[in-house]
Amino acid sequence: MSCGKYDSIHAVMDFTEVLKKEPEKAFDFITCNAYRLEKDDIVNILKEVLYSVKYHTEGHFYGSLYADILGDVQIELDENYEEAYREYLEDLLMSTSTKPGN
């Protein structure tokens, strides 16, 4: 089947099978098949992951585990995107300083 909505749906179906049968391979599956997924499907997967992590880490036993996990995600994203953030802010500054009246 070619790329497009149905390929994305097929990729989600494949992903749920990986989660069911070999969840330890979920990261590799997403890495190798992300090109098949449409934005909405990626967002839905991410929302389900966040919801499930929150659901399974709530309660006194886990303390602040959910916040700790998301804090870890924030740190990793900031490290991975540090250069892109800098370029974005530099471009933004340049575009606002070159507008007439500035």
Average pLDDT, stretch 2-30? 91
3-state secondary structure of 20: helix
Tell me the per-residue pLDDT of 74-96, one tens digit each, with 9 for 90 and over. 999 999 999 999 999 999 999 98
Average pLDDT, stretch 62-69? 91
The span from the CA of 94 to the CA of 3, in Å, is: 38
Residue 69 · residue 56 · CB < 8 Å: no
Average pLDDT, stretch 6-30? 96
Q: Amino acid identity, residue 32?
A: C
The span from the CA of 74 to the CA of 33, in Å, is: 24
For 22, which DSSP code? Answer: -
The span from the CA of 65 to the CA of 56, in Å, is: 10
The span from the CA of 47 to the CA of 81, in Å, is: 21
Model confidence at 1, pLDDT cuts 50, 70, 90, reads very low
Q: Which of 19, 50, 5, 14 is nearest to 33 (CA)?
A: 14
